[in-house]
Amino acid sequence: MLSVNPGKQLIININGVKYARYPIKTKLITPADKNLLSIIKQYAVPYLQAGDILFISEKMAAITQGRAWPFDKIKAGFLARFLSRRVYKNPAGIGLSIPETMQMAITEVGCPRILIAAVISFLTKPFGWRGLFYHIAGRRAAAIDGPVPYAIPPYNTYASLGPKNPKFLARQLADILKTPVVIVDANDLGVEVLGASRGLVKKLICQILSDNPLGQSDESTPIGIIREV
């Protein structure tokens, strides 16, 4: 039986059309879980109906790709320590404001791009322009998550990259499952579609999931189903 997460609503009305958002509870997904498709088949497929859209948290996709590490295993260099002190601290999370996640960004997108982003951000800061660092560093840098106390253990002590090739992954899963699939980066401040199978309208998906029905804490619901009602 599917049920709504605490503090969340099952139904949302978008331009007169009602959509149900069913969160799906799973076991704790760890780096030992290498087969995302197997997890989806076990926990989500039994609930799927014709016309449904399957949505997947980017965190789960990244974990199953081996892109999450214990925080104490990440060794930050001098540049990462220097730059992290000068990055805007996003209220949605740690971002790159600590040396370890900044080091992950340097490794993920390259030192030259991070330096260019830092220089331009520094030069434009007096004009009140914010967010340029993440805009220039790119989506792969912005997708990096650091440890936060409200995350389900052990991920309150983990850091992770975004999923690799999320568009390809979403389309691959959709072809196998015969169901539209979308991979989303969602928190209580907003939603971004990282990858979607063909035919899905990203703007509509963001509206449907705008209140983050999967939750932000220890719900253990990294998968969900969108169903027009």
Local confidence pLDDT in tens for the 229 residues of the chain: 788 998 999 999 999 999 999 999 999 999 899 999 999 999 999 999 999 999 999 999 999 999 999 988 999 999 999 999 887 666 556 788 899 999 999 999 999 999 999 999 889 988 888 778 888 999 899 889 888 888 888 888 899 999 999 999 999 999 999 999 999 998 767 899 999 999 999 999 999 999 999 987 778 999 999 999 9
| Backbone CA torsion sign across 73, 143, 104, 95 | negative
What is the Cα 15 distance to its own chain's centre? 26
CA–CA separation, 126 and 227 (whole Å): 47
Q: What is the pLDDT of residue 142?
A: 87
pTM for this predicted structure: 0.88
Contact 181, 60 (CB under 8 A): no
As to burial, measured by CB atoms within 10 angstroms (0-12 exposed, 13-18 middle, 19+ buried), residue 13 is exposed
DSSP states of 42-56 = HHTGGG--TT-EEEE
Q: Are 25 and 31 in contact (CB under 8 A)?
A: no
Distance CA 62, CA 38 (A): 15
Domains and CATH numbers, the chain: 11-67+162-228 (3.30.1330.100), 70-160 (no CATH)
**Residue holding tokens 């936060």?**
148
Indicate the angle between helix axes 166-177 and 36-43, nearest 10 degrees.
Answer: 50
pLDDT at 79: 94
